[in-house]
Amino acid sequence: MKFFVDTAEIEPIRELAATGLLDGVTTNPSLIAKSGRDFMEVTREICGIVDGPVSAEVVALDHATMMKEAEVLRKIADNVCIKVPLTVDGLKTCKALTGEGTMVNVTLCFSANQALLAAKAGATFISPFVGRHDDNGVDGMDLIEDIRLIYDNYAFETEILVASVRHVTHVLQAAKIGADVMTAPPKVIHDLFKHVLTDKGIEGFMADWAKTGQSIL
Ligand code: E4P
């Protein structure tokens, strides 16, 4: 499963990219606002740090203006992936852009039928939001299972990008279902490394090693 980080903050992206385990970045208008940075400038900077897809979202709601915005955004770098909302205009834009060889991430997906439409529109990625479903008392992971089943039934190549990930259990469930990608805030990705028994084990090994009085270097 590919790991994308869901942020527009440069330092956490640099830190995760340095692990060699980061496959891409997702941003959205809220994350850009939170960063306080200029959209074009911060997107350019992120594209220079990560080789994989960097999602940059259009903000127009009509197809013609979405295409104009996408034209500006895709010139930023070769690894820009245009993010469009799951609307009629968004999917028209998706179809047109992917037809021209541009990567498209269809966002704000909350149903398996929406995901089916996005695949038919040739989306590179579909972003079902699991956390926002959970917030409303619906198990977001059921949606991922349904989309996996439908995409496998028809051998759609659209990658399932699990979004709105809130904790490490979401990541585990996404991997068990066979999602292609997950995007999570930096903290969740850092949490994946942690286990109390790993810390305890290191502590024990270090204490015993000290007793030997030896050194490797
Ligand atoms: C990513 O592409 C989405 O915009 C993001 O995961 C949404 O997460 P949120 O529901 O925590 O805002």
* Catalytic option among 2, 34, 68, 83: 83
Regarding the beta carbon of 26 and ligand 1, being less than 6 Å apart is answered yes
- Ligand 1 atom at minimal distance to the Cα of residue 183: 6
pLDDT tier for residue 162 given thresholds of 50, 70 and 90: very high
Q: How far apart are CA 78 and CA 177, in angstroms?
A: 30
Residue pair 20/189 in contact (Cβ under 8 Å)? The answer is no
Give the distance (Å) from ligand 1 centre to CA of residue 132.
8
Give the distance (Å) from ligand 1 centre to CA of residue 163.
5
Give pLDDT, residue 56: 98
Instruction: With respect to residue 154, please indicate whether it lies within any of the assigned structural domains.
Output: yes
Triad 204, 206, 210: Cα angle to 5°: 120
Q: Which tens digits make up the pLDDT trace of 96-148?
A: 999 999 999 999 999 999 999 999 999 999 999 999 999 999 999 999 999 99
Instruction: With respect to residue 217, please indicate whether it lies within any of the assigned structural domains.
Output: no
Instruction: With respect to residue 50, please indicate whether it lies within any of the assigned structural domains.
Output: yes
pLDDT tier for residue 35 given thresholds of 50, 70 and 90: very high
Give the distance (Å) from ligand 1 centre to CA of residue 46.
17
Instruction: With respect to residue 77, please indicate whether it lies within any of the assigned structural domains.
Output: yes
Q: How far apart are CA 102 and CA 52, in angstroms?
A: 13
Regarding the beta carbon of 131 and ligand 1, being less than 6 Å apart is answered yes
Range of the domain at 117: 2-212
Instruction: With respect to residue 109, please indicate whether it lies within any of the assigned structural domains.
Output: yes
Instruction: With respect to residue 61, please indicate whether it lies within any of the assigned structural domains.
Output: yes
Give pLDDT, residue 80: 98
Distances (CA, A) of 50 to 78, 79, 189: 11, 9, 16
For the chain, list the strands marked E by DSSP. 2-6, 24-26, 54-57, 80-85, 104-109, 125-128, 159-162, 181-184
Q: What is the CATH number of the domain that holds 28?
A: 3.20.20.70
Instruction: With respect to residue 48, please indicate whether it lies within any of the assigned structural domains.
Output: yes
Q: Which residues contact 17 (CB under 8 A, 6 or more apart)?
A: 49, 50
Determine whether 95 is an active site residue.
no
The number of folded domains in the chain is 1
